[in-house]
Amino acid sequence: MNIEIIELILITVLTAAMPLVIAAIGELVTERAGVLNLGVEGMMIMGAASGFAIAIMTGSSALGVLGGIGAGVALSAAFGVLTIFLAANQVATGLALTILGVGLSGLIGSGFVGMKRDAIAHLHIPGLSDLPLVGKLVFGQDPFVYAGIALVFGVAWFLKKSRAGLTLRAVGESHTSAHALGVPVRRIRFLAVLFGGACSGLAGAYLSLAYTPFWAPGMTAGRGWIALALVVFASWRPFRAFAGAILFGGATVLQLHAQAASFGIPGQALTALPYLATIVALVLLSLNKRRGAVAPAALGTSFIPER
């Protein structure tokens, strides 16, 4: 195998992983604040549909990306109002958000099925981008990849080193203690939910504007759910979420190649592979849990301040 093929494989793995990375990082922040938003799939597909629709209508990829983010934020705001300010059940509300998002994305996207536009341009730095092995991998990606990696580092720094991150984690561990210390629990949770929505929307926009530059109904194909599983798999830690996403990206690419090569394995078995892998990952993590990887203590519980 020569160097170009290795580079190509690494690039496809990285790009396949990126929507998972972005969505998982957003959900990770939401969950660290103690809120479980199961609507990732719905927000992601709305991001994909709105992002593509707006990019086609305005002719601007940047506006498309903003539109995708906006769609994710709007949906997550509805979720946040219901679960944080009205103390509605988070699991059921998240499911509702996914059902709503899948339906609405179909409505928005129905006029755009079959349309095509150019994928968002990749970075090109003369000289650097032409280096063997690392050239295109490091210096020739689309902006989403850099944004995704920046998110991982930014969120890791924010959670570990910043004061605001510490407050956010406190809210996720014990909302009553945080409240007693005068921390605005519900406001912080709401902001964390909005951040998660923005990331999911961005991940969706990545799918329809860069990864496969068209809109197809149901194009997220469960990626939102896999991102949710990745957060658990990563024990709520950003770099582990990144590593997990790369593993899944690898599995996806492997599956695509295996389907193309057709080793006599039915295509359906290969399509089911990422979902089975998710279950295996969750099981492995559960085995590991006994050794101290635990969820934020207040995850999934509502906070109703005493008057």
Q: Which is nearer to another protein, 140 or 204 (CB)?
A: 204
Closest among 88, 47, 91 to 69, alpha carbons compared: 47
CB nearer to another protein: give 161 or 263: 263
Nearer to another protein, 15 or 93 (CB): 93
Judged by CB under 8 A, the residue of 217, 239, 257, 301 near another protein is 217
Q: Is residue 301 a contact point for another protein (CB under 8 A)?
A: no
Q: Which residue, 1 or 107, has its beta carbon nearer to another protein?
A: 107
Residue with tokens 């170009």: 4
Q: Which of 186, 190, 198, 193 is nearest to 73 (CA)?
A: 198
The answer to whether residue 265 forms part of the interface with another protein (CB under 8 A) is no
Among the listed residues 222, 240, 247, 256, the single contact to another protein using CB under 8 A: 222
Q: Which stretch binds another protein (CB under 8 A): 92-100, 124-132, 199-207, 237-245?
A: 92-100
Site string for another protein, 110-129 (x = CB under 8 A): x-------------------
Q: Which residues ranging from 227 to 246 are in contact with another protein (CB under 8 A)?
A: 228-229, 232
Q: Considering the rule CB under 8 A, would residue 88 count as an interface residue with another protein?
A: yes
132 belongs to the binding site for another protein (CB under 8 A): no
**Exposure b/e, 195-217, CB count within 10 A at least 16 = b:** bbbbbbbbbbbbbbbbbebbbbe
Sign of CA dihedral 255, 257, 262, 263: negative
Q: Which is nearer to another protein, 158 or 214 (CB)?
A: 214
Quickly count: other Cβ atoms within 10 Å of residue 55's Cβ.
27
Quick one: which of 96, 155, 209, 246 contacts another protein (CB under 8 A)? 96
- Among the listed residues 51, 68, 70, 101, the single contact to another protein using CB under 8 A: 101
Q: Which single residue is written with the structure tokens 């530059």? A: 213
- Give whichever of 34 and 140 is closer to another protein, judged by the CB atom: 34
d(CA 78, CA 198): 13
286 binds another protein (CB under 8 A): yes
3-state secondary structure of 242: helix
Asked if 183 is part of the footprint of another protein (rule: CB under 8 A), the reply reads no
In 3D space, the residue among 35, 79, 49 whose CA is nearest the CA of residue 219 turns out to be: 49
CB of 97 to another protein, least distance (A): 7
Other Cβ atoms closer than 10 A to 263: 7
Cβ–Cβ < 8 Å for 112, 216 = no
Are 139 and 149 contacting, i.e. CB atoms less than 8 angstroms apart? no
Cβ neighbours of 153 (radius 10 Å): 12
Judged by beta carbon, residue 125 or residue 279, the one nearer another protein is 279
176 makes contact with another protein (CB under 8 A): no
Find all residues with CB under 8 Å of 281, minimum gap 6, and list them: 229, 230, 233, 244
Q: Is 102 in the site for another protein (CB under 8 A)?
A: yes
Integer-rounded Cα Rg, in Å, for the chain is 20
Q: Which of 125, 133, 289, 297 binds another protein (CB under 8 A)?
A: 289
Number of chain residues interacting with another protein (CB under 8 A): 50
Q: What angle do CA 188, 192, 196 make, to 5 degrees?
A: 170
Binding site residues, another protein, CB under 8 A: 38, 42, 78, 82, 85-89, 91-93, 95-107, 110, 217, 222, 225, 228-229, 232, 266, 268-269, 271-272, 275-276, 278-279, 282-283, 285-287, 289, 304-305, 307
